[in-house]
Amino acid sequence: MSSQPSSQPGPKPNSFAARDAAYHLHGYTNALKTEKEGGFVVVRGDGPFVYDENDKEYLDGLSGLWCAALGFGKEQRIIDAAVRQMENLPYYHTFSQKAPAVTVELAERLVELASLAAPMSKAYFCNSGSEANDTAIKMIWYFNNALGRPEKKKIIARVKGYHGVTVGSGSLTGLPLVHKDFDLPIKNVFHTDCPHYYRFGKAGESEEDFATRMAESLEALIQREGPDTIAAMFAEPVMGAGGVLTPPKTYWEKIQKVLKKHDILLVADEVICGFMRTGNQWGSQTFGMKPDIMTMAKQLSAAQMPIAAVLISQRVYEGLRDHSGKLGSWAHGITYSGHPVAAAVALETQKIYAERKILDHVRAISPVFLAELKSFADHPLVGEVRGVGLIGALELVKDKKTHESFDASLGVGPNLIRIAHDHGVILRPVADSICFCPPLICTEGQIREMFKRFRAALAETQEWLKSQLVA
């Protein structure tokens, strides 16, 4: 039984697809498949669309990797900001009390924006979400050493949570493939239950009761390990790469109560949810989270330059400040932390968001997006529809009644994504959940076009699946 809906021809000699396979090692990719089929090489972009080397158009329904908020077209203001910065000061660093002026401006802006969710005191810059979460782990360990409680070091994350791939952040990520054969997770990282009500709620259990059970399970983990040994919990407001899992009602209220009781810091990983994705500036606002630390990347610069940040509360800052004062230095720093060109691009991106009223646009377009998603609820293959703001997912199931999933070896989700690709829409499968996260600038027409292409792919998948199940 083949799980391939169509046989892919090999790449044309000397095409980018072939050269890609010959010379480039991809992230999160089956290298054997790349050798056989060639890479998918993108040569230009325009709004939410990208074009391959044959000039075929694709609507990227995942904003690249949940990040290209302004799409893939030319943004003259961002180009000008980058060029201006490169002309004035192409590089300076942030060690030993030094900083490029533009980096200071960006820190100021982010502290101001963060206050919409929770008061933050300082911003520390990184180059990726993974690096930001690794930095946050080190800050937390250092903070607890500063407070004279060196035993309070364990970190809790969640099954199906995603926080990156570096040694620390990869350990926080709660996906088996990110750990397997990479010798992760490191010690002192624990994963509490995944709050996906549709998948893990018990028969007859309300969403609120499920949230209570999640909080009790967290409390049990803390008691098992010892409350005095737990330093922090990392969590995404909406779990993105785990399959766009929106939290059940009352979840965050109950989880935060447990954390507060044991003086455990909350780190909100805003790498996907930050910058309006959920219909507010921060995912933390949407779900009433009051974090002590916030990590962010991706839409911080609309993905036009690599930059990330860790924002810390005054309490955490004072711990770092006083301890580093005693030791002589806070001995953590990255060459490109707060790189001025990346900072200039991020700052201009933030100005564009404000001036073009992107938040108002997201709020206006979100009902169209969510209604389109919900229109699949009665489809025989769709078990759950979930979403908020401009992020959502459809979970495909074998049995709508029992929620039974398809046999993983069928590869229903990945095959649907391949068919959708042929129909000119790029989406992402997480097992059999199909994730949608279009650029924030999408018009109503483009949102409808994305779902139109997807609908055609779903119909074709249904036909293919019939032949598979009969064969």
State the residues that interact with ligand PMP by CB under 6 A.
Answer: 65-66, 128-130, 133, 162-164, 236, 240-241, 269, 271-272, 297
Residue 319 vs 387, nearer CB to ligand PMP: 387
Cα–Cα distances in Å, from 298 out to 73, 77, 342, 376?
16, 18, 12, 29
Residue 271 vs 276, nearer CB to ligand PMP: 271
Residue 101 Cβ vs ligand PMP, minimum distance, rounded to whole Å: 25
| Residue 329, both tokens | 């230095």
Continuous segment of H or E residues that includes residue 435: strand 433-436
Residue 279 Cβ vs ligand PMP, minimum distance, rounded to whole Å: 17
**CB-CB contact of 226 with 263 (8 Å):** no
Residue 127 vs 405, nearer CB to ligand PMP: 127
Residue 5 vs 240, nearer CB to ligand PMP: 240
How would you class 331 by CB atoms within 10 Å of its CB: exposed for 0-12, middle for 13-18, buried for 19 or more?
A: exposed
Residue 294 Cβ vs ligand PMP, minimum distance, rounded to whole Å: 11
Residue 241 Cβ vs ligand PMP, minimum distance, rounded to whole Å: 5
Residue 164 vs 319, nearer CB to ligand PMP: 164
CB atoms within 10 A of CB 403: 14
Residue 232 vs 458, nearer CB to ligand PMP: 232
Residue 343 vs 381, nearer CB to ligand PMP: 343
| Residue 372, both tokens | 């389109």
CB atoms within 10 A of CB 216: 13
Q: How many residues does the chain have?
A: 471
- Cα within 13 Å of Cα(256), Cβ side: 15
Residue 378 Cβ vs ligand PMP, minimum distance, rounded to whole Å: 30
Residue 162 Cβ vs ligand PMP, minimum distance, rounded to whole Å: 5
Q: What letters, b where the CB count within 10 A reaches 16 and e where it falls short, cover 187-199?
A: eebbbbbbbbbbb
Distance CA 45, CA 381 (A): 32
Distance CA 365, CA 362 (A): 5
**CB-CB contact of 311 with 296 (8 Å):** yes
Angle between helices 412-422 and 444-470 (to 10 degrees): 130
Residue 47 Cβ vs ligand PMP, minimum distance, rounded to whole Å: 22
Sheet of 122-126: strands edge to edge? 122-126, 308-312, 293-296, 265-269, 230-235, 154-158, 189-192
CB atoms within 10 A of CB 467: 11
Distance CA 316, CA 156 (A): 18
Closest CA to 22 of 37, 6, 35: 35
Which of the 8 DSSP states describes residue 29?
-
Residue 142 vs 162, nearer CB to ligand PMP: 162
Peptide bond into 185 cis (omega under 30): yes
Q: Find the residue with minimal CB distance to ligand PMP.
A: 129
Residue 118 vs 458, nearer CB to ligand PMP: 118
Residue 165 vs 397, nearer CB to ligand PMP: 165
Residue 63 Cβ vs ligand PMP, minimum distance, rounded to whole Å: 11
Residue 302 main-chain phi, psi, to 5 deg: 50, 25
C-alpha 302 chain-centroid distance: 13
Residue 280 Cβ vs ligand PMP, minimum distance, rounded to whole Å: 16
Residue 219 Cβ vs ligand PMP, minimum distance, rounded to whole Å: 25
The three-state secondary structure class of 42 is strand
Residue 245 vs 385, nearer CB to ligand PMP: 245
Residue 73 Cβ vs ligand PMP, minimum distance, rounded to whole Å: 22
Residue 38 Cβ vs ligand PMP, minimum distance, rounded to whole Å: 24
Residue 236 vs 449, nearer CB to ligand PMP: 236
